[in-house]
Amino acid sequence: MSGLGGLNKSANGVVVGLVQLQLPVVATREQLAAQTQRICELVGKARRNQQTMDLVVFPEYSLHGLSMATNPEIMCSLDGPEVAAFRAACVEHRIWGCFSIMEANEGGNPYNSGLVIDDQGAIRLYYRKLHPWVPVEPWEPGNLGVPVCDGPNGSKLALIICHDGMFPEMAREAAYKGAEIILRTAGYTAPIRHAWKITNQANAFCNLAYTASVCMCGSDGTFDSMGEGMFCSFDGTVMVEGGGRPDEIITAELRPDLVREARTGWGVENNIYQL
């Protein structure tokens, strides 16, 4: 049950929106600025789309596209204009946001980083993808572990980027740290469709956690990303599933209080504890 996609929000609910963002081409500073503005506009769309929404989630590569370019001119930093714009958008529209940046790294290749920003503009979660998609991705392996943060309406959030979600240990670490909602952002294309679905479900079932997962969407003229936002309940069932329509926002109400109840009271299949 998703509360009709979050339209009927309960007292303990957290309404999440997954943006199946149109895959961009970003190769210059000007294109980076334009894509930053586009994402901020979609933060506003999310708020207008659903006044009950607590958190809007953008996919991996939403800012930089799938070119894998490491040009220093288009790399980002936490104190740069792109992150400042995201923070301002969250404040303006009174909503939490999850964003993707390719982060400059003076000591090596850029990091593939994710941020969760609250509705006051504070960065609540900062994470660097641990496992680049070898041999395709050029990113430096992350060094910040698997962080968990307090989220909206008393929830606990974790973020796992793309290929990191293929490793059961990542979701398990997030759950052990208390995550009740595990966000997963990706830029995957069609060959990964089956693995995407089964790992999102398995990460939920094996850890008694909700998973909220979304890919980039559409074509950039070279690559075709698949969209397919999906919410899985803590019993592994698919609650809501999107398709391949670019810029569609897939929504659901999640109930962290029911996760806590299951982790405390379930005997059969309480897999986070029965080792």
Catalytic positions: 60, 129, 162
Q: How many CB atoms are located within 10 Å of the residue 93 CB?
A: 18
User: For residue 58, which amino acid is it?
Assistant: F
Residue 106 in tokens: 């003076």
Q: Are 265 and 271 in contact (CB under 8 A)?
A: no
CB atoms near residue 135 (< 10 Å)? 6
Please report where in the chains the tokens 């996760």 appear, as a residue.
Answer: 259
Q: Give the bridge partners for 142, in sequence order.
A: none
Query: Whole-angstrom Cα distance, residue 22 to residue 25?
Result: 10
* 246 prior amide bond cis, ω within 30: no
Phi, psi of 192 (to 5 degrees): -100, 5
